[in-house]
Amino acid sequence: MTNIQRVAQLAGVSVATVSRMINNTGNVTSKTRKKVERAIADLDYVPNMLARNFRTSKSKSILVLLTSISNMFYMEIVHGISECANSNGYDILLSETDGFLDKQIKGLEKVKNHIADGAVILESTIHDDVLLSMEEKYPVIQCCSFNEEIDLPYIIVDNEKSGVLAAEELIAAGRRKFAFVGTNDRSMYNRKRRSGFLKTLRNNKISEENIFVMNSSLGFEGGRCAVRELRDRNVDSFFFVSDMQAIGAMREFFENGVNVPRDVSIIGHDNLELCDVVIPPLTSISQPAREMGSEAAKVLIGHIQGGEKIKGYKKIFQPELVKRGSV
């Protein structure tokens, strides 16, 4: 197996010289560099990057911890993280947890073991004890969700404002019975969007008997199940915490002869590209996913390179209502 000693021998230089060139840690003359490069090419030598990472404690990689890679909104954020990371010489590692504690712990061990230099946590249901194990010790930033009691930097959208925007639009459409369809209450965004939605309805004198709240799974089937469960309540307007829920609901209504938006108004959240594809096009609350991801990577890399914890850093983006044809 080719090693650095064989490269040095073929190039006629010391092992230290080869190491300096590979790691860019010292001056190497152009003549020497050419000899080493020729030896590397002739021997088809690939440096042992993992060993190098342990020696330097820098992997030039960023871990992205997320519940599921099938979540299209999260993947938009990942694009933003990747673009910023790559432009700064970093790669990204994806770690899918399915929301399980053991997978969250295993994922973040990559930071503790120097396989990654830091982490962006997209996991909305991250366990508090996992966050506590990272606080004050490792470069970590939360994106889309956060825990107010744990001192880690975070980037989010104003989720309560999202609920306000959705409620105002449905009220303006003249609807009478309103449903909020959320997901796991461990998700901060779920609680905040619901809070803004319900507060706005009550401030507009909507009676409690005309307000319905339920949680369902985040995907397509979650929306269909919500419609089935609320079918007998004559709900004529829905705010879903995800576009995929909303699209599932639209499909369920279509199959049962209910017209959207004539009979029922629907608003989703995240403003996925699919919103323009479905019929009718889905009105949705937008959050700047790529910009949030890029900002998270920029802050994290600054932390990694600067070596100082960013005390109290937070950034809150504003959501926007994107009107289409479902209201």
Q: What would the pLDDT profile of 271-305 be if each residue is shown by its tens digit? A: 999 999 999 999 999 999 999 999 999 999 998 88
pLDDT digits (tens, 9 = 90+) for 170-186: 999 999 999 999 998 88
From the number of C-beta atoms within 10 Å of its C-beta (0-12, 13-18, 19+), residue 227 rates as buried
Cis amide linkage into residue 47, ω under 30° from 0: no
pLDDT band at 137 (very low <50, low <70, confident <90, very high): confident
Kindly state the tokens that stand for 85: 């990371």
4-47 against 159-286: fold identical:
no
pLDDT at residue 55 is higher than 80: no
Whether the Cβ atoms of residue 66 and residue 278 lie closer than 8 Å to each other: no
- Return the CATH superfamily for domain 159-286: Response regulator (3.40.50.2300)
pLDDT at residue 53 is higher than 70: no
Give the highest mean pLDDT range of 46-55, 141-150, 176-185.
176-185
Q: Domain 59-157+289-319, CATH 3.40.50.2300 — does that match? A: yes
Spans of all domains in the chain:
4-47, 59-157+289-319, 159-286
Q: Cα(first)–Cα(last) distance of the chain, in Å?
A: 66
Amino acid (one-letter) located at 286: S
pLDDT at residue 212 is higher than 90: yes
Whether the Cβ atoms of residue 278 and residue 322 lie closer than 8 Å to each other: no
Task: Order the strands of the 154-157 sheet from edge to edge.
Answer: 91-96, 61-66, 118-121, 140-143, 154-157, 314-317
Kindly state the tokens that stand for 17: 């010289």
Given this model, what pLDDT does residue 210 score? Answer: 98
Average pLDDT, the chain: 89
Given this model, what pLDDT does residue 59 score? Answer: 79
pLDDT at residue 41 is higher than 70: yes
Given this model, what pLDDT does residue 14 score? Answer: 87
pLDDT at residue 25 is higher than 70: no
Cα separation, 194 vs 238, whole angstroms: 12
Whether the Cβ atoms of residue 141 and residue 208 lie closer than 8 Å to each other: no
Q: Cα angle at 55 between 49 and 57, to 5 degrees? A: 90
Amino acid (one-letter) located at 102: D
Given this model, what pLDDT does residue 2 score? Answer: 64
- CATH number for the domain running over 4-47: 1.10.260.40
